[in-house]
Amino acid sequence: MRVASFLLTAVALVASVHGAIVPSKRATVCNGHAELCNRSYGNVTFLGAHDSFAFSDDPLALARDQEVDIPSQLGLGVRLLQAQAHVNDGVLHFCHTSCLLFDGGTVEDYLNKVHDFLTANPNEVLTLLFTNPEGASLPDLWDPPFQASGIADLAYVPPSIPVKQSDWPTLGELIDSGKRVIVFLDAGADTDRSVPYILPEFEMVWETPFSVTDPTFPCSVDRISGPLGTTDHMYMINHSLNKNVFDSGIIVSDPLDAPTTNSVSSIVANAAGCEQFAAGRAPNFVLLDFVNIGHGLDAVNQLNGLA
């Protein structure tokens, strides 16, 4: 301890001898844009991949919602990854509805890939939005893969919960602090706060309806919880169009619609329809199927005032 503090003092002295204060490391480009460094996380629009793990290039894989893998999605500018977890043989997997229908592998393998991206891209803020339909235990099943992959060390823990939309740190602050992953869970984190970095989604983010089959995407506040008011939440548009197969009630996503659904005009129109619920603000997250099709990132840049 003594040696360490002596060294620190010596370094400080050398620094002051060489003139003035040594500035702490500051990110100058955040998520690819200098303009975003000084912007609150709550005032940025991010591109999201719905069912990010459910990728396949096989058109016959009806349970897929993406065509390209996680590194490719991130490479396309996706900065929110959504996925649905199921317990399979006592271990958490990402699966679509059931692991028999589509098994995307273990959450730990998935998070290892995400960690590789974060290590290679130190100036990126990333959001993980996972769903927990089986109510898997946070300390017993969710925390272990986050710890093993190293993502837990990068996850932001707010000083108190819920965080108002206007109270989030800037992207630059998140990057500079090394805590640049925001983790939301749809169910479980509201009642169990024993894993502090796993945040209760609906207390801070509201969502538009899902399984939408109307291509005009009429906006409404579908899922939200208190105590914060609607405009003090961030929000996500679930901008994926589903097809009711032969009116059977079976809903699947359709890549043939994706060029239209993922166009700038369709996304921006959906956002405009929601601003009435958000004091005129753009959505924080634009969640898409088939992120490699259409122009999702262009729409997001436009909503961020960057285009």
Ligand X SMILES: *[C@@H]1O[C@H](CO)[C@@H](O)[C@H](O)[C@H]1NC(C)=O
Contacting residue, 82, 149, 261, 292, with ligand X by CB under 6 A: 82
Question: What's the rounded Cα separation, in Å, for the pair 177 and 240?
Answer: 34
Q: How many residues bind ligand X (CB under 6 A)?
A: 17
Closest residue to ligand X in the complex (CB): 210
Dist. CA 78–CA 72, nearest whole Å = 9
Catalytically annotated residue among 18, 33, 93, 96: 96
User: In this structure, what token pair is assigned to residue 106?
Assistant: 């273990």
Structure tokens at 53: 């793990």
Tell how strand 80-88 and strand 91-96 pair up.
antiparallel
Identified binder of ligand X from the candidate list 9, 16, 28, 38, rule CB under 6 A: 38
CB of 153 to ligand X, least distance (A): 25
Q: Which is nearer to ligand X, 87 or 148 (CB)?
A: 87
Task: Judge whether 96 counts as a catalytic residue.
Answer: yes
Q: If binding is defined by CB under 6 A, does position 301 make contact with ligand X?
A: no
Stretch that binds ligand X, among 20-28, 42-50, 86-94, 142-150 (CB under 6 A): 42-50
Binding to ligand X (CB under 6 A) within 181-210 occurs at 207, 210
What does the angle CA 140 – CA 145 – CA 149 come to, to the nearest 5 degrees? Answer: 150
Does 270 sit near ligand X (CB under 6 A)?
A: no
Site for ligand X in 222-241 (CB under 6 A): 238, 240
CB of 74 to ligand X, least distance (A): 18
Q: In this structure, how many other beta carbons lie within 10 angstroms of the beta carbon of residue 295? A: 16
262: contact with ligand X by CB under 6 A: no
Cα 114 to Cα 118: distance, rounded to the nearest angstrom: 6
Q: What is the dihedral of CA 156, 160, 163, 169, to 10 degrees?
A: -50
Q: Binding to ligand X by residue 261, rule CB under 6 A?
A: no
